[in-house]
Chain A
Amino acid sequence: MDTLVDDLRSALGPDRVRTGPSELSLYRRDASNMEGSTTVVCLPVSTAEVQACVRIAVRHGVPFVPRGSGTGLAGGAVPLDGAVVIATTKMDQILRVDESNRLAWVQPGLLNLDLSNQLGHLGLHFAPDPSSQQTCSIGGNVANNSGGPHCLAEGVTASHILAVQVVLPDGTVTTLAGEEPEPVGYDLRGAFVGSEGMLGIATEVCVRLTQNPPGVKTMLMDFATVEDGAATVSGIIAAGMVPAAVEMMDRLCLQAVEAYIRADLPVDSAAALLVEVVGLPNGLDADVERIIAIAHEHHVKNVRVAQDDEERALLWKGRKSAFGAIARIKPNYYLHDTVVPRSKLPEVLAQVYEIAARYELQVLNVFHAGDGNLHPLLVYDAREPGTTERVHLAGQEIVRVSVEAGGVLSGEHGIGLEKRDYMHLMFSDIDLAAQGALRRAFDPEGIANPGKVLPSPAACGDIHSVPEGAWI
């Protein structure tokens, strides 16, 4: 009998089936801090080739892991136990655009920002804009149901996916949903989006495209306390406005970014809000006026409205440079991703600061305040003995306090390996059994990306920072 690698090579050709030690080493991790192991990496260029890879994996009884750009932060693309990695990076084309009905069929390896850039001349864009949008793929966005700053008004990836052609875990090719608005039967496309590669591999994606707004106003507002900033966020939403984006940066983050890019940021304030509204001119001006009035009710110190595109770009650069800026503080960081009710932001942030202080760690907060999506960044130096352990313990506590405040485990990064064993904080065994039932319906053999998302029964109530089969 041929070996797994021989079979894959006959299907894809030798150059797109990789087994070299350096490549295997590269593909055994994603952008998380976790590593697994793989025996072979496949780089298919078509649906038929993906199907061939899956069928061969099935025939050999070896699990497979779908992979996009590998920018996931929860270990969802980390292969466990020698799984076959099927990377869709070479499938990166826009297949068809329906300009008047604002949709497009694309391949999963297409990069998020490339899609919007290539449609710019039509006045259209793909709304989900993860911070990694220059490098993350549409297929990865589908797998993780990715978000981004502008998902506050527009919704996360699930709201922008009309249909997905998939290779199911048994090797069957089919299309979930379609261009029509109410496909027959269950919303299988809805179930597939966010399933982290455990229900199959997306090979073509039909995305909804969004009109570029006719007008944009971006403002930076800073506050003496985090509470005032958070109260402004709640005030804006309660007043019936949904800005395109509402981002918050805390003092340490402002200082780090300012030192990095020199954007004249309010480094002496406890928190700053970056608020963007879009739309038609009268509504836009009225919203800006109301937002500033609400900020004044909550003691805003300064309001800076970007006067032109250049200043707007600079303010956004400040927000998006946070991850680069922190390298000036410490060499390593651990980024968390939880959601809490907006009204609980001040309370939970205070707890985050307390937890970090107790573990003698520095924490920066730069996050999607509009939808309560926290991103505490624990910065540390992994070379200092015992630090990594403290980072993990602090992270666990942050996740716990978020869920206890009425929040959820993840807003946009997913569960993957990272939070698999935290699922019991949010779901009962009965709840998890229902998720397991969905998984079994798609993948009775459990061959697609096993070991992710759903905790094994043995892990009940026993929280591990790093699941078995992966290591830091």
Chain B
Amino acid sequence: MDLTEFADEIGPTGPITIAGLSTRGGPVDGVRPVMAPVGIERVQPEEMTVWCGAGTPVEELDAALAVHGQCVAIPPFGTVGGALAVGRSGLRRLAYGPVRDTLLQARYVNADGQIVKAGGPTVKNVSGFDLCRLLVGSCGTLGFLGDVILRTRPRAQFEQWFVTGADPTWVVAHLYRPSSVLWDGDSTWVLLEGDPRDVEAQAGRAGLKEADPPTGLPSGGRWSVAPSEIPQLVGTGRFIAEIGVGIVHHEHPQAARRVDPAIVELHHRLKHEFDPEGRLNPGVDVLSVG
């Protein structure tokens, strides 16, 4: 299915929801669902970009990029569009950055059923307002992603997980660009990538021991806290925290975070401007998605 058909299917009226592989919550119940175009249009390794339908499975995209020694910094499973719409990062965010930094251009369908282009196809672009970042994490409430151009990055030449009993703050201070540092209040796991000799030398200097990554991340809640608050998590329950990032995989849900009334007001105005009738993913409130 191409983008025009996708837009036609969405049309200009009536409640509509977007479905993917239901990895991150799925479509709104009882509302007519649409699915975004699937397929990789073009891999351009020398540009470090890839163009694909938002309905493309992340796994399929990853396999196509692996051939060229590249990857994208979005977490596994589900569809590309779903990963972008939800905007949650993967475990390597410390080195790879947040999901929002990967989206260069999006063509999405707006509440009027029209195709809108946001951003541009090049790795660097400041032409106009940054609607791409607004769309990432917007949970399909401002528009439905049709196809996207993403920034790719080199796949690690070599990677190894390690473990240590050392304080995670000390570990971070003594390593150059670890890809992930996880802490459960007791042990610290570290992922290093790069030239194998550099990985070995860094691990040796910091007293890290080769290990498997932690299994079974607590899945009761995905907390987002200032990285400086991570030490205070001890005693709140079982958790694995991403040091230097602030994502905490916790056995309990995060307490509701206070949102400034001015921010709430901006959300209402944005939703009103982009979807005045509230037809896109009706009932989804990004301020209460926890």
**B is bound to A:** yes
- Seen from chain A, the residues whose Cβ lies within 8 Å of a Cβ on chain B are 98, 100-103, 144-145, 147, 151, 155-156, 158-159, 168, 172-176, 178-188, 190-191, 193-195, 198, 211, 213-214, 234-235, 237-238, 240-242, 279-283, 286, 339-343, 368, 371-373, 406-415, 419, 423, 426-428, 430-432, 434-435, 437-442, 444, 453-454
Query: Within 8 Å of chain A (Cβ to Cβ): is B76?
Result: no
Q: With contacts A100-B172, A242-B153, A283-B198 known, is A339 near B131, CB below 8 A? A: no
Q: Is B279 an interface residue (CB 8 A)?
A: no
Knowing A182-B247, A431-B118 are in contact, say whether A175-B260 is a contact too (CB < 8 A). Answer: yes
Q: Which of B70, B137, B194 contacts A186 (CB 8 A)?
A: B137
* A438 and B131 in contact, given A184-B287, A431-B118 (Cβ under 8 angstroms): yes
Judging by beta carbons under 8 Å apart, are B197 and A282 in contact?
yes
CA distance A188 to B126 in the complex (A): 16
Known A174-B262, A184-B259; judge A410-B137 contact (CB<8 A): no
Smallest distance from the beta carbon of A406 to chain B beta carbons, Å?
6
Can you list 20 residue pairs at the A/B interface with Cβ under 8 Å?
Answer: A98-B227, A101-B228, A159-B97, A174-B262, A179-B228, A180-B224, A182-B87, A184-B259, A186-B137, A187-B133, A188-B134, A193-B133, A195-B129, A240-B155, A280-B201, A341-B44, A423-B128, A431-B118, A440-B273, A441-B270
Looking across the interface, which residue of chain A has its beta carbon closest to that of B45? A238
Are B176 and A438 neighbours in the complex by a CB distance under 8 Å?
no
Query: Closest 9 CB pairs between A and B?
Result: A190-B133, A179-B226, A283-B195, A280-B198, A174-B262, A437-B273, A408-B120, A182-B224, A238-B46
| Residues of the B chain whose Cβ atoms lie less than 8 Å from the Cβ of A156 | 124, 126
Q: Which residue of B lies closest to A176 (CB)?
A: B263
Distance in Å from the Cβ of A50 to the closest Cβ of chain B? Answer: 15
Chain A minimum-CB-distance residue to B119? A408
Contacts of A102 in B (CB 8 A): 244
Q: How far is the CB of A297 from chain B (nearest CB, A)?
A: 14
Q: How far is the CB of B142 from chain A (nearest CB, A)?
A: 8
Assess the B124–A373 pair: CB atoms within 8 A. yes
Q: Contact at A339–B125, with CB atoms within 8 Å?
A: yes
CA distance A242 to B242 in the complex (A): 25
Which chain B residues in 112-130 approach chain A with CB under 8 Å? 114-118, 120-130
CB distance from B56 to the nearest CB of A (A): 21
Indicate if B88 sits at the interface (CB-CB under 8 A): yes
Q: Is the CB of A151 within 8 A of B121?
A: no
Which residues of chain B are within 8 angstroms of A342 by Cβ–Cβ distance? 46-47
Q: Is the CB–CB distance between B245 and A181 below 8 Å?
A: yes
Cβ of B194 and Cβ of A279 under 8 Å apart?
yes
Of the candidates B129, B155, B202, the one having the most CB atoms from chain A within 10 angstroms of its own CB is B129
In the complex, residue of chain A having the shortest beta-carbon distance to the beta carbon of B137: A187
**Residue pair B124, A412 in contact (C-beta under 8 Å):** yes
Chain A residue nearest to B227 in the complex (CB)? A101
B259 lies within 8 A of A341 (CB):
no
Q: CB-CB < 8 A to A179: which residues of B?
A: 226-228, 246
Instruction: Report Cα–Cα, A248/B141, bound state, in Å.
Output: 43
Q: Is the CB of B127 within 8 A of A237?
A: no
CB distance from A275 to the nearest CB of B (A): 16
Q: Is the CB of B130 within 8 A of A191?
A: yes
Known: A185-B259, A414-B126. 20 other contacts (CB 8 A): A100-B169, A101-B227, A175-B260, A181-B224, A181-B242, A182-B137, A182-B222, A185-B287, A187-B138, A190-B132, A190-B134, A211-B177, A237-B46, A240-B69, A280-B201, A282-B197, A341-B121, A427-B127, A431-B117, A437-B274
State A240–B195 Cα separation when bound (angstroms): 13
Q: Which A residues are in CB contact (< 8 Å) with B267? A: 185-186
* CB pair B130 A190 closer than 8 Å: yes
Query: If A194-B129, A242-B154, A434-B274 touch, does A372 touch B124 (CB 8 Å cutoff)?
Result: yes
Would you give the shortest CB distance from A166 to chain B, in whole angstroms?
9
Q: With A194-B130, A343-B46 given, is the CB distance from A279 to B122 under 8 Å?
A: no
Q: With A408-B120, A431-B118, A441-B266 given, is the CB distance from A194 to B138 under 8 Å?
A: no
Within 8 A of A (CB), among B160-213: 169, 172-173, 176-177, 194-195, 197-198, 201-202
CB-based contact B98/A181 at 8 Å:
yes
Option from A183, A286, A415, A435 in Cβ contact (under 8 Å) with B224: A183
> Does B28 touch A at the CB level, under 8 Å?
no
> By the criterion CB–CB under 8 Å, are B124 and A180 in contact?
no
Q: Are A411 and B126 in contact (CB under 8 A)?
A: yes
Query: Which residue of A172, A173, A237, A282 is within 8 Å of B198 (Cβ)?
Result: A282
Interface SS majority for chain B: loop
A329 → chain B closest CB, angstroms: 28
Partner of A282 from B120, B143, B195, B228 at Cβ < 8 Å: B195
Nearest to A151 among chain B residues (CB) is: B124
B48 at the interface (CB under 8 A from A): yes
How many A-B pairs fall under 8 Å by CB? 253
Q: Are B115 and A186 in contact (CB under 8 A)?
A: no
Q: Interface 1/0s, chain B 223-261, versus A by CB < 8 A?
A: 011111000000000000010111100000000010110
Residues of A near B70 (CB, < 8 A) are 240
- With contact pairs A438-B270, A438-B273 given, residues A187 and B136 touching in the complex (Cβ less than 8 Å): yes
- Give Cα A393 to B111, complex, Å: 39
A280 to B48, CA, bound (A): 23
Q: In the complex where A180-B246, A240-B69 touch, is A410 in contact with B125 (Cβ < 8 A)?
A: yes
Minimal beta-carbon separation of B194 from chain A (angstroms):
5
Complex: A168 Cα to B259 Cα, angstroms: 16
Q: Quick one: which of A184, A188, A237 has the most chain B CB within 10 A? A: A184
**In the bound complex, what is the Cα–Cα distance between A195 and B130 (angstroms)?**
7
Using CB atoms, name the residue of chain B closest to A411: B124
A-contact bits for B257-289, CB 8 A (1 contact / 0 none): 101101100110110111000000000001101
CB-based contact A280/B123 at 8 Å: no
Are A372's CB and B123's CB within 8 A?
yes
List the A residue with the shortest CB-CB distance to B202.
A280
Q: Which residues of A contact B194 (CB under 8 A)?
A: 279-280, 283
How distant is the Cα of A188 from the Cα of B269 in the complex, in angstroms? 12
CB <8 Å contact, A184 and B257: yes
B117 vs chain A, min Cβ distance (A): 5
Q: How far is the CA of A147 from the CA of B224 in the complex (A)?
A: 28
Tell me whether B101 is interfacial, beta carbon within 8 Å.
Answer: yes
Interface centre among B124, B138, B177 (most CB of A within 10 A): B124
Bound complex: CA of A191 vs CA of B131, how far in Å? 6
Partner of B122, one of A187, A280, A407: A407
From residue B157, how far is it (CB to closest CB) to chain A in Å? 8
CB distance from A290 to the nearest CB of B (A): 11
B128 in contact with A187 (CB, 8 Å): no
Bound CA span A193–B269, Å? 19
List B73-103 residues whose CB lies under 8 Å from chain A.
87-89, 93, 97-98, 100-101
Decide if B17 is an interface residue (CB 8 Å cutoff): no
Q: Chain B's nearest CB lies how many Å from the CB of A417? A: 14
Contact A423 B89 (CB under 8 A): no
